[in-house]
Structure 1
Amino acid sequence: MKVLFVVPYPVGQAASQRYRVEQWLPLLQEQGSLYKLAPFWSQSTWPVLYKPGHIGKKALGLLAGFWRRLLLLARLPRYDYIFVHREATPVGPPWFEWVAAKVLRKKIIFDFDDAIWLPDSNRGSGWRKKLKWRHKTAQICRWSYKVSCGNDYLRNYALKYNAAAVLLPTVLDTDQVCINRKEQQTAEVAIGWIGSHSTLPYLQLLEPVLQRLERKYSFKLYIIADRPPQLQLQSVIFKQWRRGTETEDLLEFHIGLMPLPDTDWARGKCAFKALQYMALGIPAVVAGVGANLGAVADGRTGYICQTEQEWYERLEELILEPGKRAGMGAAGQEWVKARYSLQAHRHTFLSLFS
């Protein structure tokens, strides 16, 4: 079997692609399959892609990406499956997918882990959002052999256009990331959050809660991201996200946060932050939105919060009770191993190619 992975980002750079595509590649090798990854964005464009300015470099990167996609069409006949993660091109209609499915009659496996048919209010201006051509998601679903969806909300959308929509959560290789973690009982409590610039605004939802806690307790608030947060808090310690130190930095946390607004876009999120925390033995305190409701066992592996007062009370409880943190952390590791691990979903992934 030969598989072409049509992906947006350079290899090893974006969490979505690393966990939805790249971490599965050794499993394909075990099965004797051959594969190739074809990113849209180049390594040279990636460092400036989400930074202000650099318009010329971004424009050249966009044109180069389209040129690579045109050249790629000639190589499609040699592959048995075309696996498209999110989209083949970041703007415009789905011409690449149409040629692959309708002209070359290739089996497309379409994978997505966000509500990509909806505009993201955190990103871009009006004209940029129009260029995204969000309605192409439905078209690609129709043309696909199978659709791989990161949670039930996304799958229910895909099922409207394709009966072969499969639930494949974003999972972790627990053989690699689950660590026997011993919390330092005397250490100052560290609350933490990890994410990208696109989800940083969600932290502002917790700003009043964290300000209240700061007035009463001493703690550190670690923020791991690609840019500093804009928060009126005294306890913030910003750490630049780096792949090589991601696990080490997360292990500083005693409590992990995942706030979300109750919107259609947020309901498409796959609770991955919460899974990362729990896999490392860190209790996850999350908003009661979307996939979070199923990913966290409320009161066992963390807490699901609906109101500001609930956020305050749950965080206060975990700040004060190290024994509860340790118990929830251990339960969270077992929970992730059983339900959200690479090992638990290997059959689901391989079934996409049958």
Structure 2
Amino acid sequence: MADLDVFGWQADESGCGYYRIQLPMQGLAELGHTVHHGLRMPQSVRDNPNTVIVGQRVCNPGPSTMWQTLAAHGRKLIYEIDDDLWNIDASSPAAHSFFARPEIRANLQRNIEVAAAVTVTTEPLADIVRQWNPNVHIVPNAVPDWLIDHQPQQRDDGTLTIGWGGSATHNMDFDQVGDQLRQFLKRNQDTELHVIGNDYASWMRVPRQQARFTPWVPSVDEFLRTIDYHVGIAPLRPHVFNQSKSALKAIEAGALGIPIVASAVRPYEDYVQDGLTGYLVRRDHEWGASLRALAADPDMRIEMGMSGRTQARQHTISRRAPLWEKAILG
């Protein structure tokens, strides 16, 4: 197999850029390919006809013009997208208004159409994208291999830490769980909620003495090392946008040996093994019941965490890199 020369064109430096460009490039490098990535495309990449370009949700006017020009010159372009950008909820106003703009939607469609292939995270997202390009490769999200062996620095003073980390785009999801979490924390004073990235603890009016907030950290690797929960939570509203999301939060928690309590919505229904690696919540009262069960039984938390770690071993970047390689070669 010929070595590839691949440039990953990131849309951002947040989790999306890490999980869908930086980490895949690392995986391809481990397979012996030449890779580089960045927010800006160097002239050397534009001038080299042998470099394959993986472009992350290219849709702004300037980058779209460049993408179309490269396609017209016969360059091999792989379009990468990991969210249903056509169905963003209004509770994320900035993203909703941006991706609702007609010119942005037109750019998304045109840029997908001229790509040699498209990579996505899930089958529901593939179904959406196939209307513009039939050559869609489902490459699920993966975690770095080192995470499987990392031991989170959990509290050992008798306080149970429930945790979540992410961006400020989950208002509709925390609407699903806010009341139940407040009630659980109120009734269990030896518990705390640790949120990383966006302060949903304050947003949900969690008692200050039972809330801990860590602002965004400089890198995803550092974010993963900041996770110190005994139990992870993954609320998700049954919304059309969320049907195309992946189970990444459950994979991260499992890789760290942390059981997860997650909404029984498609991404988690397809991944979480209910009662084995965590709990799936179908009715509101099950949030409290699941958290109480895990709080009361440290041995069960350890056992579920071990099962979650075994499952997550199948979802590391070394396991996923061949899928990226196939998508780019195909």
Q: Please indicate, yes or no, whether the TM-score normalized by the shorter chain is above 0.5.
A: yes
For residues 82-101 of structure 1, give each alpha carbon's deviation from its aligned partner in whole angstroms, at most 9, with x where no partner exists: 11112253x68943332222
Written as runs of structure 1 = structure 2, the 5 A alignment for 1:76-115 is: 76-87=47-58, 89=60, 94-101=64-71, 103-115=72-84
In structure 2, give the amino acid aligned to 1:292.
Y
In 2, Cα distance between equivalents of 1:324 and 1:237: 25
For residues 177-228 of structure 1, give each alpha carbon's deviation from its aligned partner in whole angstroms, at most 9, with x where no partner exists: 4335697776211100100112255223211101221232121000101556
Mapped contact 1:93–1:136 kept (Cα < 8 A):
no
Aligned to 2:300, the other structure's residue is in SS state helix
**Residue matched to 1:7:** 10
Stretch of structure 1 that moved more, 28-37 or 270-279? 28-37
Written as runs of structure 1 = structure 2, the 5 A alignment for 1:19-38 is: 19-38=19-38
Mapped contact 2:257–2:305 kept (Cα < 8 A):
yes
Stretch of structure 1 that moved more, 309-318 or 174-183? 174-183
For residues 129-151 of structure 1, give each alpha carbon's deviation from its aligned partner in whole angstroms, at most 9, with x where no partner exists: 42672354333332221111111
**Residue matched to 2:130:** 159
What displacement does 1:79 show? 3.9
Aligned-residue RMSD, C-alpha = 2.7
Match of 1:287 among 243, 259, 263: 263
Mapped contact 2:11–2:58 kept (Cα < 8 A):
yes
Mapped contact 1:114–1:270 kept (Cα < 8 A):
no
Written as runs of structure 1 = structure 2, the 5 A alignment for 1:233-248 is: 233-234=206-207, 235-242=210-217, 243=219, 245-248=222-225
**Residue matched to 1:273:** 249
Identity, % of aligned positions: 20
Stretch of structure 1 that moved more, 222-231 or 190-199? 222-231
In structure 2, give the amino acid aligned to 1:306.
R
Mapped contact 1:117–1:135 kept (Cα < 8 A):
no
In 2, Cα distance between equivalents of 1:227 and 1:135: 35
**Residue matched to 1:46:** none
For residues 310-351 of structure 1, give each alpha carbon's deviation from its aligned partner in whole angstroms, at most 9, with x where no partner exists: 22211221121211111110000000102x111222211111
Relative distance call for 1:74 and 1:215 in structure 2 (3 A) is closer
In structure 1, give the amino acid aligned to 2:213.
F
Mapped contact 2:109–2:132 kept (Cα < 8 A):
yes
In structure 2, give the amino acid aligned to 1:257.
I
**Residue matched to 1:259:** 235
In 2, Cα distance between equivalents of 1:259 and 1:292: 10
What displacement does 1:274 show? 1.4
For residues 271-317 of structure 1, give each alpha carbon's deviation from its aligned partner in whole angstroms, at most 9, with x where no partner exists: 21111111101111111223221121111111111221122211221
**Residue matched to 1:316:** 292
Relative distance call for 1:127 and 1:336 in structure 2 (3 A) is closer
**Residue matched to 1:230:** 203
Aligned to 2:101, the other structure's residue is in SS state helix
State how many pairs are aligned: 318
Scaled by the length of structure 2, what TM-score is found? 0.86
Unaligned runs of 5+ in 2: none
Stretch of structure 1 that moved more, 15-24 or 324-333? 15-24
**Residue matched to 1:45:** none
In 1, Cα distance between equivalents of 2:45 and 2:23: 27
Q: Does 1:351 align with 2:326?
A: yes
Tell me which of the two structures has the higher relative contact order, counting C-alpha pairs closer than 8 angstroms and 6 or more residues apart: 2
In 1, Cα distance between equivalents of 2:156 and 2:296: 11
In 2, Cα distance between equivalents of 1:294 and 1:138: 29
Written as runs of structure 1 = structure 2, the 5 A alignment for 1:138-153 is: 138-153=109-124
Unaligned runs of 5+ in 1: 41-68
In structure 1, give the amino acid aligned to 2:24.
W
**Residue matched to 2:160:** 189
In 2, Cα distance between equivalents of 1:106 and 1:264: 34
In structure 2, give the amino acid aligned to 1:118.
N
Relative distance call for 1:204 and 1:341 in structure 2 (3 A) is same
Scaled by the length of structure 1, what TM-score is found? 0.81
In structure 1, give the amino acid aligned to 2:317.
L
